[in-house]
Structure 1
Amino acid sequence: MTCSTDVIAQCVRWYLAYAISLRNLEEMMAERGIIVDHSTLHRWVIRLVPLLDKAFRRHKRSVGRRWRMDETYIKVKGQWKYLYRAVDTAGQTIDFLLTAKRDAAAALRFFRKAIRHHGEPDVVTIDKRVLSH
């Protein structure tokens, strides 16, 4: 059975928005009369997420030229991760990076990613803890 693009998009959206397992999503779709294996759902997610990310970045509104960068330690799906985040003066999130390690390489990777997607800012204010790298 071939699924419509609407069904595929809905599955990927639910998976990303609600942090459900692929097996739970498989069951949800079966309850709606759509039989799709969890491995197929995984292939859809792997294939579509980079495309969605690229499309959303193209339509994202411009960000301010003054950035504030910060990092914090958060729990994601039961595991502790470091969240690096940059916001502009309006409070709009410019970019973020979730990583297992807190080191200079991760901080630099995050900063380069933000610049690559949004251009070089005029001013960057960095939280003191980031300077400990």
Structure 2
Amino acid sequence: MQSMDELFKGRHFEREVIVLCVRWYLRFKLSLRDLVEMMAERGLALAHTTIMRWVQRFVPEFEKRWNRFARKAGRSWRVDETYVKIRGKWTYLYRAVDRDGQTVDFRLSANRDVKAAKAFFRKALETQGRPPVSITLDGYAASHRAVRELPAQSSRWKDTRLRSSKYLNNMIEQDHRGVKSRINPMLGFKVFDRAAVTIAGVELLHRVRKGQFNLGRLHVRGQAAPAIWNAVLSA
């Protein structure tokens, strides 16, 4: 993993400005041009495309650094898909939370089918490092079929129970709102890969807000957000 100096080497702007712009864009309902105006009030001349490039460049690096401190989610997963428009076409954001509302994982997919559902479950298993005790779904048949077929592909899924409950899945549907409330003001994406990176950043900030990271050893309890981010990225 690159050091902080290496990560931001050659950038025209200081790393504090870059981190602030990326963090604010992903966390708050701000457009790129809103951020340009806000930075101009601080004497910084930025183009909105510069901030867009920062998001694409640094979100994967921020994820790596924050994930070193991630707590594992619980083993009762609530899984659902929501919709994201890319170049005028609906795509599908697979998401899961545990029984306490902590984010398990997410995956953007061009399709909503058995193959896409399996890809999401495999990604979630890799992220968490352990299979769930139960997976709760709504009535969508492809996701049910994917869960039923997983044990044949890996014995790690053999003890996972499948449940179907609209009531229990209210939690994941409510959690979608925290992500969609930030995605919707972005007014649609143009490129799938860029959308995936941006959504990963939104999901990261959503997890940070929910306190899904163990930062005790960094001694940042009670610190302001800039200090916390600097500590995480520097660790």
Question: TM-score category by the smaller chain?
Answer: 0.7 to 0.9
State the Cα RMSD in Å: 2.7
Would you say 1:97 and 2:107 are equivalent positions?
yes
1:45-60 equivalences under 5 Å are: 45-60=55-70
Aligned length: 132
Query: Which of 34, 38, 44 is the matching residue for 2:48?
Result: 38
Q: Would you identify which runs of 4 or more consecutive aligned residues in structure 1 move more than 4 Å?
A: 74-81
Q: Secondary structure at the match of 1:62?
A: coil
Does residue 114 (structure 1) correspond to residue 124 (structure 2)? The answer is yes
Amino acid paired to 1:33: G
Shift of 1:13: 0.7
Moved more, 83-92 or 9-18: 83-92
1:39 partner letter: T
Q: 1:99 to 1:21 in 2, by over 3 A?
A: farther
Indicate the residue corresponding to 1:20 in structure 2. Answer: 30
Distance 1:3 1:59, change over 3 A: same
Q: Which runs of 5+ in 1 are unaligned?
A: none
Give the fraction of aligned pairs with identical amino acids, expressed as a percent. Answer: 47
What is the match of residue 13 of structure 2? 3
SS in 2 for 1:101: coil
Alignment of 1:82 with 2:92, yes or no, is yes
Give the drift of 1:54. 1.5
| Structure 1 pair 59–97 and aligned structure 2 pair: CA distance change class (3 A) | same
Aligned to 2:134: 124
Q: Which has the higher contact order (CA 8 A, sep 6+)?
A: 2
Task: Select the structure that is richer in strand.
Answer: 1
Matched position secondary structure for 2:106: strand
Counterpart secondary structure, 2:12: coil
Secondary structure at the aligned position of 1:83 is classed as: strand
User: For residues 87-127 of structure 1, what are the alpha-carbon distances to aligned partners after superposition, in whole Å with 9 as ceiling and x for unaligned?
Assistant: 23433221122445322232122111111111131523241
Letter in 2 for 1:124: S
Q: CA shift at 1:30, angstroms?
A: 1.0
- Equivalence for 2:77: 67
Q: Distance in 1 between matches of 2:18 and 2:45?
A: 12
Is the 8 Å Cα contact of residues 87 and 95 (structure 1) preserved in structure 2?
A: yes
TM-score (norm 1): 0.79
CA distance in 1, matches of 2:56, 2:28: 17
Aligned amino acid, residue 44 of structure 1 = W
Question: Which blocks of at least 5 consecutive residues in structure 2 are unaligned?
Answer: 1-10, 147-235
Cα distance in 2 between the residues matched to 1:27 and 1:41: 12
